[in-house]
Amino acid sequence: MSKRDLKKYVAELNKEQLEEQILELYEKFSPVKVYYNFVFNPKEETLLQECKLKISNEYFPFKKAGRRSKPKMRRSVGQKYIKHFILLGVDPYVIADVMLYNIEIAQTFASENVIKQDLFFKSMFNSFEQAVVFLIANGILTDFKTRIVAIHNETITQKWYNEPEFNAIIERFEY
């Protein structure tokens, strides 16, 4: 069904039928329920804290029954939250905060541990590039420039092999 057909169909429904359809969608489909719950009760700060906790747990897991779990270091956990936040229409500042936090926590982990997988560094660069593109697209780069530069400086401090790629992105918006 095309969007046009859907509009035509919805226009033919009376108010009660429309209410019934929306309630049915709400009950049957979890994403619809999540969307409406967010729209009517947008607890962005709570979502942000929950998200940051999950991301940090990827690198610094909680102790379970007296033993420490092994870090999983999955970038995908943060990426899932970012996609979810974008779908819900969360404030771009909150999304940007998550994007940068995802990189910053990984850098904190890397400063304390030796990382041998090249994929980790490539993944962090992809996150960095996506964050900068998002910041520019939403016109909020200047608000986050300090954190962007700090992330780049940390790649220098930690001697990441792909630091020149981070530098190339920084140079693009500095001039």
Residues 18-29: pLDDT tens digits? 889 888 988 898
d(C-alpha 52, C-alpha 61), whole Å: 13
Q: Output the pLDDT for position 66.
A: 58
Q: Do 159 and 95 fall within a single domain?
A: yes
Residue 78 and residue 12 share a domain = no
Tokens of 145: 């420039």
- Asked if 6 and 20 sit in the same domain, the reply is yes
15 and 94 co-located in one domain: no
Give residue 64's pLDDT.
62
53/124 same-domain check:
yes
The one-letter amino acid at 76: S
136 and 75 within one domain: yes
Residue 121 to residues 4, 73, 159, 160, Cα–Cα distance (Å):
45, 11, 11, 7
53 and 31 belong to one structural domain: no
Q: Specify whether 64 is located in the same domain as 136.
A: yes
Mean pLDDT by 10 residues, the chain (175 residues): 88 90 87 80 83 90 68 87 90 95 96 92 96 96 96 97 95 72
Same domain, 2 and 79: no
State the residue range of the domain holding 162: 43-174
Give the pLDDT score at 174.
Answer: 65
Count of domains forming the chain: 2
- The token duo for 52 is 């940051």
